[in-house]
A = this chain, B = another copy of it.
Amino acid sequence: MDRDLELRRQVCFALYSASRAVTDVYRPLLEELGLTYPQYLALLALWERGDAVPTVKELGEALHLDSGTLSPMLKRLEGAGLVGRYRSDRDERIVEVRLTDAGRALRRRVDDIPRRVARATGLSENELLALRDTLTRVTEAIHSTGAHPPAQKEK
């Protein structure tokens, strides 16, 4: 009785499994570049900003991550020579994250990765877009219902 709790019926388990499976596809591709998957996402956020220089906080908002996760990760990217971190002159609480030349150059080497991962999912282009949009709606629905995100807490 109560078949509602079967593992294979759970959307949450499908989501958890698929997320890890997709990361498994990225892992060997990124390993050649010395990157982990979250580091790759952070670089995507930096690359798409062009010359704009985000703060740790802005990066956290883009990635839905807090400083407890980002600070050590950015230190590792700094250690790898891909980014630099600089205290702002205007406001010394703020740290700006800048790509180094090596960090910018790395972008060329990831060009075909999204395509290769998309192929591995077995989904068509349209299915991928529909999936992405559904997932984005879910994330936004949860974040908007006063959930928790790395933003406001209770006052």
Interface residues of chain A, those whose CB is within 8 Å of chain B, are 2, 4-27, 37, 41, 44-45, 47-48, 62-64, 107, 110-111, 114-115, 117-118, 120-123, 127-128, 131-132, 134-139, 141-143, 145, 147-149
A19 touches B16 (CB 8 A): yes
Residue from the list B5, B12, B121, B139 in contact with A141, Cβ < 8 A: B121
Grouping DSSP codes into helix (H, G, I), strand (E, B) and loop, the A interface class, with mixed when no group exceeds half, is helix
A120 touches B145 (CB 8 A): yes
Residue from the list B9, B21, B138 in contact with A122, Cβ < 8 A: B138
Residue from the list B4, B45, B117, B148 in contact with A12, Cβ < 8 A: B117
A141 touches B122 (CB 8 A): yes
| Cα-based distance from A13 to B8 in the complex (angstroms) | 23
Question: What are the residues of chain B within 8 A of A132 when measuring CB–CB?
Answer: 9-11, 14
A141 touches B114 (CB 8 A): no
A-B contact pairs, 7 of them (CB 8 A): A2-B107, A7-B48, A11-B135, A15-B15, A18-B19, A24-B149, A122-B137
| Cα-based distance from A123 to B9 in the complex (angstroms) | 16
Question: What are the residues of chain B within 8 A of A148 when measuring CB–CB?
Answer: 24, 27
Q: Which residue of B lies closest to A128 (CB)?
A: B11
A111 touches B14 (CB 8 A): no
B25 touches A142 (CB 8 A): yes
Residue from the list B25, B120, B123 in contact with A134, Cβ < 8 A: B123
